[in-house]
Amino acid sequence: MTKITVVSAHGMDWVWRSGGTILKYVKAGADVTVVCLSMGERGESASAWSEPGQTAEQVRAIRLREAEKAAAVAGVELRTYDWGDYPMVIDDERRLEMVRLLRELRPDIVLTHGRKDPNNPDHVATAQLVESAAIWARAHGRMPDAERFVVRQIHGYEPEFPEFCEFQPDRYIDISDVAEQKLEMMRCSSVQEFMIEVYEQRARYRAIMAGLFLGRRVTHAEAFESFLPAAGESF
C-alpha cells in the first residue's frame, strides 16, 4: 500500500494545492496522513478577524473545523500541531519532532510546500523543515533508538503565485475524475473562499499540459515540483 504524508503549514493549504491528488491516491487505496503545523489563524484568516473581539483561539477553532471537514471528505487522517503562524518558528526540537513523525509514518511520498515563497515565510519554513527532517531521518546517529528512514520522494505543491515563487513543475497529476469532490473539499472553508476560484482556474490551466503529455482530454490537473532526484535500475 502506498503511504503518503502531506505536511502543510496552515489548515487548508493542502486542500487547494493537492486535494485532487490526495483524492486520487485515497481512491486507489493509499494511506494518506495530512499534517498541519498550524491552522493559519493569524495570517490566512482575514475575514474571521472582522468579528469584533475576535481571538486567535477562536479563529484557530474555526480553521480546525474546516480542516477536519475537508479531511473527512477526502478520507484521510488529519494530525495537527499548534505551532503558531506569522511567524512560524521552527527550532531543532520541532525538526526532531518531524524526524520522529517521518520515521513513524514511513511515507513513500511526501507532499509539502515548494522551497520558495516570498509571499509567505511560513510556507518556506515548512518546506525547509520537511527537507531537513528528511535528511536527519536517514542519519544513523540521530535518535538511534528509532529505526532510520530514507525519504525517497518529496514533491512541492503549487503556490498561489507560481511565477513569483519561481515554481517549476515537473509532475502533472490528472484530477479530472475527482474535480467535483475536490470542490467539495475546498468549500469546507468559509474563511478563505476566494482561494476556490484561484485553484479551480489553476487546475484548468495545468490540465492543458497534463492533457498534452497524456494524449487525452484532461479538464483539471495539479502541478508539483520535485525536491529530490530519483534512483533506480533504469530511467
Size of the site for Zn ion (CB under 5 A): 3
Q: Shortest approach of Zn ion to residue 155 CB, angstroms?
A: 17
Among 5, 10, 160, 218, binds Zn ion (CB under 5 A): 10
Contact status: 41 vs Zn ion (CB under 5 A): no
Residue 180, amino acid: E
Closest CB 116 distance from Zn ion, rounded Å: 14
Beta carbons within 8 Å of 123's beta carbon, 6+ residues apart: 9, 13, 113, 114, 117, 159
Least separation in angstroms between CB 107 and Zn ion: 21
Q: Helix (H, G, I), strand (E, B), or coil: what is residue 189?
A: coil
CA–CA dist 217, 234 (Å, integer): 29
Q: Answer yes or no: are the C-beta atoms of 192 and 120 closer than 8 Å.
A: no
Window contacting Zn ion (CB under 5 A); options: 10-18, 24-32, 160-168, 180-188: 10-18
Contact window for Zn ion (CB under 5 A) among 3-11, 63-71, 130-138, 141-149:
3-11
Phi-psi region of 106 (alpha: psi -120 to 50; beta: other; left: phi over 0): left
Beta strand spans in 60-102 (E): 77-80
Name the 3-class secondary structure at 171: strand
**13 contacts Zn ion (rule: CB under 5 A):** yes
State which residue has the least CB distance to Zn ion: 10
To Zn ion, the closest distance from the beta carbon of 204 in angstroms equals 22
Per CB under 5 A, contacts with Zn ion among 61-120 are none
Q: Which residues bind Zn ion (CB under 5 A)?
A: 9-10, 13
